[in-house]
C-alpha cells in the first residue's frame, strides 16, 4: 500500500477521532452537569462517558455479570458475545469496564478503516480506493467506530479482515475470522454467504475448478451456532436473542414488514420534530444503501453483492421503522467502494458528501454524548 494513501487516511482518521473525542467530552460535560446524580470529575471521565450510552449499558452488564434472559422482557442475550468478551479481556489489564469498552472500539475502528483501504486496493486503483476509504471514514454514523462502546468497530474489523484474507488467498484464516464475526453480530447469513460466494468467484476468476475445500466458508456459521448452543444449554432457548429483540418492539409480522410504525410516527401530528427527522434520515440512508446493492453486484462481483444484499436486507426487513439502519450500514463496507466508483466523474458531489459527513460526525457525536437516541 502506498505510504501516501495510508498516511492521508491515517491523518483523516486521527483528525476525526480527536474532533469526535472533543465533541463527546463537551457533550458529556453538559449532560452530567445537568444530572448531579451522575457525577463526573476528571477530564478523561468526560471523554469516556461521552462514548457510553444506550446499548453500552447492556455490554457493561454482560462483561461484568454474564448473560441473563427473561422471556417477554428486554434481556442481554440480544447482544452477541464477542464484544463483551473483548471488553473483559481488556479489563484484565487494569481499565474499568467503560474504559475497556471505549479502548476496544478505539483500537478496532481505525484499524478496520486502514484494512478497508488495503482491501479496496485489490479491487480498484489506489486513488479510488482512498476516495472510498475517506467516504467510509467520514460517513456520519462512523463516529461509532471512534470510541462508542458498541460492537460495530470490532465487527467491521473482523469482516473486512476476513474478505481481505480471501483476496490474498488465505482461506483458513479468513474462515476463522468469519467464525468470530458470526459470534459478534446477528447477521451470520451475510458473512457466511458472502465469504462463500466470494471464494467461489475468486477461484473462477483464476480459471481454477472448485473443490470441496472451497466450501469451507460455510464453517463461518460456527460462531453463530456456538452462541445458539450456549443459549440452549444455559436458558433452554437457542433463539433467545430473537425473543429478546421482540421485547424492544421488533417482533416480526406484516405490520413490521410494511413499516406501518414508521408511517404512523412520521405523519402523526403528535410526533416531535427530532423523532421525525431521525426516522427520515435512517429511512433515506436505507433506500440509498438498497440502491447501491445492484451496482455492487455489477462492479464488485457476486461475493460482495451477496454480502451487502443480505447484510442490508436483514435489518431492512426486520426493523419496524428503520431506526438504527444508519449504524448498521457501516458494516456494508463494499457499498462505499461502489459509491466511490459511481462518483468517479463527479468530484464535487463526492467532496460535498465528505464535507457533510465531517460536520455530521461531530454533530452526532455531541448528540450521542447528550443522551439523544441516535441509532
- Short-list 55, 91, 79, CA closest to 244: 79
Is the pTM higher than 0.85? The answer reads yes
Does residue 351 belong to any structural domain of this protein?
A: yes
340 belongs to a structural domain: no
Classify residue 156: in a domain, yes or no. yes
Q: Are 329 and 289 in contact (CB under 8 A)?
A: yes
Q: 192 is written with which cell numbers? A: 457466511
Classify residue 288: in a domain, yes or no: no
Residue 147 lies in a domain: yes
Contact partners, residue 294, CB within 8 Å, separation at least 6: 305
Task: Note whether residue 140 is domain-resident.
Answer: yes
For the chain, 375 residues long, give each residue's pLDDT as a single digit of tens. 567 888 999 999 999 999 998 888 888 777 666 555 555 555 567 778 888 888 899 999 999 999 998 887 788 888 999 999 999 999 999 888 999 999 999 999 999 999 999 999 999 999 999 999 999 999 999 999 999 999 999 999 999 999 999 999 999 999 999 999 999 999 999 999 999 999 999 999 988 889 999 999 999 999 999 999 999 999 888 888 888 877 666 555 666 767 788 788 888 888 788 888 888 999 999 999 999 999 999 999 999 999 999 999 998 888 888 888 999 999 999 999 999 999 999 999 999 999 999 999 999 999 998 888 888
- The three three-digit cell numbers of residue 235, written as one number: 436458558
- Please count the structural domains in the chain: 1
Q: Are 345 and 128 in contact (CB under 8 A)?
A: no
Phi, psi at residue 36, to the nearest 5°?
-60, -15
Q: Which residues contact 15 (CB under 8 A, 6 or more apart)?
A: none
What is the C-alpha separation between 147 and 161, in angstroms, rounded?
Answer: 20
Q: Is residue 350 a part of any domain in this protein?
A: yes
* Closest-CA residue to 118 (of 76, 163, 158, 153): 163
CA dihedral 95, 96, 100, 103 (to 10 degrees): -60
**Pairwise CA distance, residues 202 & 196, whole Å:** 10
| Structural contact between residues 167 and 116, judged by C-beta atoms closer than 8 angstroms | no
Residue range of the domain that includes 355: 3-249+346-369
Residue 189 to residue 315: CA distance in whole angstroms: 12
d(CA 317, CA 255): 11
DSSP one-letter string for 350-363: HHHHHHHHHHHHHH
Amino acid at each position: 500500500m502506498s505510504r501516501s494513501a495510508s498516511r492521508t487516511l491515517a491523518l483523516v482518521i486521527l483528525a476525526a477521532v480527536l474532533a469526535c473525542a472533543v465533541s463527546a467530552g463537551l457533550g458529556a460535560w453538559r449532560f452530567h452537569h445537568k444530572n448531579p446524580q451522575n457525577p463526573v470529575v476528571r477530564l478523561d471521565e468526560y471523554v469516556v462517558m461521552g462514548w457510553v450510552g444506550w446499548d453500552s449499558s447492556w455490554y457493561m452488564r454482560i462483561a461484568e455479570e454474564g448473560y441473563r434472559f427473561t422471556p417477554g422482557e428486554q434481556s442481554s442475550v440480544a447482544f452477541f458475545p464477542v464484544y463483551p468478551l473483548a471488553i473483559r479481556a481488556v479489563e484484565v489489564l487494569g481499565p474499568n469496564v467503560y474504559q475497556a469498552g471505549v479502548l476496544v472500539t478505539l483500537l478496532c475502528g481505525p484499524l478496520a478503516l486502514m484494512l478497508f483501504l488495503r482491501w479496496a486496493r485489490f479491487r480498484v486503483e489506489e486513488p479510488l480506493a482512498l476516495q472510498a476509504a475517506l467516504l467510509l471514514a467520514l460517513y456520519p454514523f462512523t463516529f461509532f467506530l471512534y470510541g462508542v462502546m458498541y460492537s460495530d468497530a470490532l465487527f467491521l474489523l473482523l469482516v473486512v479482515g476476513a474478505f481481505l484474507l480471501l483476496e490474498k488467498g488465505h482461506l483458513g484464516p479468513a474462515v476463522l475470522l468469519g467464525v468470530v464475526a458470526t459470534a459478534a453480530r446477528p447477521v451470520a447469513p451475510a458473512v457466511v454467504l458472502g465469504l462463500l460466494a466470494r471464494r467461489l468467484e475468486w477461484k473462477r476468476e483464476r480459471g481454477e475448478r472448485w473443490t470441496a475445500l472451497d466450501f469451507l466458508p460455510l464453517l463461518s456459521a460456527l460462531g453463530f451456532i456456538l452462541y445458539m448452543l450456549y443459549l440452549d444449554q444455559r436458558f433452554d432457548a437457542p433463539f433467545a436473542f430473537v425473543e429478546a429483540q421482540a421485547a424492544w418492539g421488533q417482533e416480526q409480522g406484516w405490520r413490521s414488514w410494511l413499516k406501518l410504525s414508521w408511517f404512523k410516527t412520521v405523519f402523526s401530528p403528535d410526533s416531535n420534530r427530532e423523532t421525525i427527522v431521525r426516522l427520515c434520515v435512517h429511512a433515506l440512508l436505507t433506500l440509498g444503501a438498497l440502491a447501491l446493492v445492484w451496482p455492487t453486484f455489477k462492479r464488485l462481483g457476486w461475493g460482495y453483492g451477496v454480502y451487502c444484499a443480505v447484510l442490508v436486507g436483514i435489518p431492512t426487513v426486520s426493523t419496524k421503522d428503520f431506526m438504527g439502519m444508519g449504524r448498521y450500514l457501516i458494516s456494508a463496507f463494499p457499498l462505499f467502494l461502489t459509491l466511490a466508483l459511481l462518483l468517479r466523474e463527479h468530484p464535487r458531489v463526492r467532496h460535498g458528501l465528505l464535507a457533510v459527513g465531517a460536520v455530521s460526525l461531530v454533530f452526532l457525536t455531541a448528540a450521542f454524548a447528550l443522551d439523544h437516541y441516535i441509532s
